C-alpha cells in the first residue's frame, strides 16, 4: 500500500486549501523523497551508469539553457526553472523506484507497472465522481485548489467539458498521463506470467475501461497516446512474431470479456445524457460524419495560428533567449515553436538529450526487457509527436514522473542483474583477504 500511495501522490500532487492557505503537497511527496533519492544516488554513484548518464545530460542541458538565458539578460528563465524541477522529480522517482525494488525484489518492475495502473484507476474514479455528482465536485474543490483556467472548465462558462480530479491543472498533460497509466496496465497484463481467472480478468478490464472513460472527460490527447503505444506494440511484437499460441490465447482471454463488458455497459447507460461529452471528446470524428473532414476547433487554431519560427536562420539555429513565457509572451503552445524561439534547434536537442538516454538504453536492452523496453521507446516517440501540439518538457505534469520512475527502474534492474566488474571482484577479494 505504501508503494501505491507514494506513486499516487508522486504523479498527482494536489494543492490543498486550508483556511485560505494553499499547501503544495509536492513538498511532502516529491521534495522530501528527492533529498533521500539524491543521497542514495551519491552513495551508489559508481554502480549505476544509466542514472549517471541521465544526470550528466541534464547538467549539460541546464548549463546550456542558463547560457542561452544569459544572452537575453535572464528575461525568461522558464526553461531553466523546468530543468531544476526535472532534477527534483528525477531523484524523487529514484527513491520510489528503489522503494519498489526493496519491497518486491526481482519482480519490482512488473509491480511498478501494476501500481502505476492502480494509481491511475484511483484518480480516474475520483475524476468520474466529480462528473457524476455535482455535490461531490463541490465538496472536493472546497479543499482542492485549481488554476483559474481549470476553474472555468469546472464551474464557469465551459463547465461540463473537462474534468481533472485532484490536480491543480489538467488538460492535455493529464490526459497523456492517464493514457500512460492505462498502457502500463496493459503492458503489466502481458508481462505477467501467471494465468488470470475470469473474475480477475473482468476486474482488470473494468479498471481499464474506467481509465478510457476518464480520457473522454479530460481531453482528446490521451487517445493519440494510446494510438502511438499500440502501434508500437503491434510493430514490436509483430517483429518478434508474437502471433504464437500463448500470445493469441492471452489476447482472446482479454478480448472476449472486454467486448461483453462494453456491450453490457452500453445497454445499461443512458447514452443521450452524455452525448455532449462524447461529441467534445471525439469532435474530429463527428465533424467527419457531418462535414467530411477530420478537424476540430483546437486543431484548426493550432494549424492556423501557432506554427511560426524566428525569421532569421541564426535564430532558428541558436534561438533568441525568449521561451515565450516571460514578459515577451509568445502566443503558441507548441513545444517545438517555443523551444526553437528560446534555444534554437541546437539547444532543443541538448536540453531534450536526457530523454534520448532512456530511449537508447531501452533499445540496447530490448531483448532482455521486452515489453518494458517497448514502453520506454514508445514514450520517446510519444514525446516527439506531442511537442507538435503542446509544450512537453518538464513539470509536475505526471508524464515526467512516469518517465523518470521507469528510467530509474531500468537502471536499477540492469545494475542488479549485471555480473560484477573486474574492479568489484578485486575489491571483494581484497576485503576477504583482509578479513
The pLDDT assigned to 35 comes to 92
Question: What is the distance between the alpha carbons of residues 155 and 152, in angstroms, rounded to a whole number?
Answer: 6
3-state secondary structure of 16: strand
Question: What is the distance between the alpha carbons of residues 287 and 252, in angstroms, rounded to a whole number?
Answer: 34
Question: What is the distance between the alpha carbons of residues 175 and 341, in angstroms, rounded to a whole number?
Answer: 27
Question: What is the distance between the alpha carbons of residues 175 and 183, in angstroms, rounded to a whole number?
Answer: 12
When mean pLDDT is compared across 82-91, 155-164, 406-415, the lowest value belongs to 155-164
The pLDDT assigned to 154 comes to 78
The pLDDT assigned to 95 comes to 93
Percentage of the residues of the chain whose pLDDT score is greater than 90: 20
The pLDDT assigned to 221 comes to 84
The pLDDT assigned to 242 comes to 46
Residue carrying C-alpha cell 508524464: 399
The pLDDT assigned to 245 comes to 38
3-state secondary structure of 133: coil
State mean pLDDT over 280-288. 50
Question: What is the distance between the alpha carbons of residues 128 and 308, in angstroms, rounded to a whole number?
Answer: 38
The pLDDT assigned to 397 comes to 81
How much of the chain is helix, strand and coil, in % rounded to 5? Answer: 75, 0, 25
Nearest to 409 by CA among 43, 13, 102: 102
Average pLDDT, the chain: 79
State mean pLDDT over 290-297. 54
Residues of the domain holding 136: 2-434
The pLDDT assigned to 426 comes to 41
**Angle, helix 221-239 to helix 171-191, in steps of 10 degrees:** 30
When mean pLDDT is compared across 198-207, 297-306, 374-383, the lowest value belongs to 297-306
Please tell me the total count of domains within the chain.
1
pLDDT digits (tens, 9 = 90+) for 103-132: 888 888 889 999 999 999 999 999 989 888
Q: Please say if the pLDDT value at position 398 is more than 50.
A: yes
State mean pLDDT over 92-109. 90
pLDDT digits (tens, 9 = 90+) for 195-207: 667 777 788 888 8
Rg of the chain in Å (alpha carbons): 23
Q: Please say if the pLDDT value at position 16 is more than 50.
A: yes
132 CB contacts (<8 Å, ≥6 apart)? Answer: none
pLDDT bracket for residue 243 (50, 70, 90): very low
Nearest to 10 by CA among 122, 171, 108, 101: 122
Residue carrying C-alpha cell 540492469: 414
- DSSP calls for 31-65: IHHHHHHHHHHHHTGGG-HHHHHHHHHHHHHHHHH
When mean pLDDT is compared across 146-150, 251-255, 335-339, the lowest value belongs to 251-255
Give the DSSP letter of residue 420. Answer: P
Grid cell digits, residue 47? 554502480
Percentage of the residues of the chain whose pLDDT score is greater than 70: 77
Q: CB atoms < 10 A from the CB of 389, how many?
A: 20
The pLDDT assigned to 298 comes to 59
Question: What is the distance between the alpha carbons of residues 400 and 90, in angstroms, rounded to a whole number?
Answer: 9
Nearest to 187 by CA among 397, 4, 373: 373
Question: What is the distance between the alpha carbons of residues 298 and 296, in angstroms, rounded to a whole number?
Answer: 5
More confident residue, 396 or 242: 396
Q: What are phi and psi of 16, to 5 degrees?
A: -95, 130
Question: What is the distance between the alpha carbons of residues 247 and 191, in angstroms, rounded to a whole number?
Answer: 11
3-state secondary structure of 24: strand
pLDDT digits (tens, 9 = 90+) for 54-68: 999 999 999 999 998
The pLDDT assigned to 63 comes to 93
pLDDT bracket for residue 94 (50, 70, 90): very high
pLDDT digits (tens, 9 = 90+) for 214-232: 888 887 788 888 888 888 7
The pLDDT assigned to 115 comes to 93
More confident residue, 78 or 267: 78
118 CB contacts (<8 Å, ≥6 apart)? Answer: 4, 207
Question: What is the distance between the alpha carbons of residues 364 and 349, in angstroms, rounded to a whole number?
Answer: 21
pTM of the complete model:
0.82
Run of H or E including 206: helix 198-218
Highest mean pLDDT out of 235-239, 242-246, 415-419: 415-419
Amino acid at each position: 500500500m505504501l508503494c501505491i500511495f507514494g506513486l499516487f501522490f508522486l504523479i498527482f500532487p494536489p494543492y490543498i486549501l486550508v483556511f485560505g492557505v494553499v499547501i503544495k503537497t509536492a513538498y511532502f511527496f516529491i521534495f522530501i523523497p528527492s533529498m533521500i533519492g539524491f543521497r542514495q544516488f551519491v552513495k551508489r554513484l559508481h554502480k549505476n551508469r544509466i542514472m549517471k548518464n541521465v544526470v550528466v545530460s541534464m547538467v549539460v542541458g541546464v548549463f546550456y539553457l542558463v547560457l542561452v538565458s544569459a544572452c537575453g539578460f535572464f528575461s525568461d528563465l522558464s526553461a531553466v526553472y523546468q530543468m531544476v524541477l526535472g532534477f527534483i522529480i528525477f531523484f524523487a522517482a529514484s527513491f520510489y523506484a528503489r522503494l519498489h525494488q526493496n519491497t518486491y525484489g526481482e519482480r519490482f518492475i512488473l509491480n511498478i507497472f501494476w501500481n502505476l495502473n492502480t494509481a491511475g484507476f484511483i484518480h480516474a474514479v475520483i475524476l468520474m465522481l466529480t462528473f457524476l455528482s455535482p455535490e461531490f465536485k463541490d465538496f472536493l474543490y472546497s479543499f482542492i485548489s485549481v488554476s483559474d483556467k481549470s476553474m472555468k472548465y469546472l464551474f464557469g462558462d465551459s463547465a461540463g467539458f473537462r474534468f481533472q480530479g485532484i490536480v491543480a491543472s489538467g488538460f492535455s498533460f493529464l490526459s497523456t498521463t492517464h493514457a500512460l497509466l492505462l498502457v502500463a496496465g496493459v503492458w503489466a497484463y502481458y508481462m505477467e506470467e501467471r494465468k488470470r481467472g475470469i473474475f480477475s480478468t473482468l476486474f482488470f478490464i473494468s479498471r481499464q475501461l474506467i481509465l478510457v472513460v476518464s480520457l473522454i472527460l479530460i481531453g482528446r490527447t490521451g487517445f493519440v497516446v494510446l494510438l502511438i503505444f499500440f502501434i508500437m506494440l503491434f510493430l514490436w511484437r509483430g517483429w518478434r512474431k508474437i502471433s504464437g499460441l500463448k500470445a493469441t490465447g492471452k489476447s482472446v482471454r482479454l478480448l472476449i470479456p472486454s467486448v461483453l463488458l462494453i456491450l453490457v455497459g452500453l445497454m445499461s447507460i443512458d447514452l443521450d445524457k452524455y452525448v455532449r461529452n462524447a461529441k467534445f471528446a471525439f469532435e474530429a470524428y463527428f465533424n467527419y460524419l457531418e462535414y467530411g473532414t477530420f478537424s476540430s476547433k483546437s486543431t484548426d487554431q493550432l494549424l492556423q495560428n501557432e506554427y511560426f519560427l524566428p525569421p532569421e536562420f541564426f535564430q532558428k539555429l541558436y534561438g533568441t533567449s525568449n521561451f515565450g513565457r516571460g514578459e515577451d509572451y509568445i502566443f503558441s503552445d507548441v513545444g517545438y515553436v517555443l523551444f526553437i524561439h528560446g534555444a534554437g534547434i541546437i539547444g532543443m536537442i541538448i536540453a531534450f538529450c536526457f530523454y534520448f538516454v532512456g530511449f537508447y538504453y531501452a533499445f540496447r536492452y530490448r531483448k532482455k526487457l521486452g515489453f518494458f523496453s517497448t514502453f520506454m521507446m514508445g514514450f520517446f516517440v510519444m514525446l516527439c509527436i506531442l511537442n507538435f501540439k503542446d509544450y512537453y518538457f518538464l513539470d509536475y505534469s505526471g508524464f515526467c514522473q512516469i518517465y523518470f520512475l521507469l528510467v530509474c527502474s531500468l537502471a536499477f534492474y540492469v545494475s542488479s542483474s549485471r555480473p560484477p566488474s573486474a574492479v568489484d571482484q578485486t575489491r571483494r577479494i581484497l576485503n576477504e583477504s583482509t578479513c
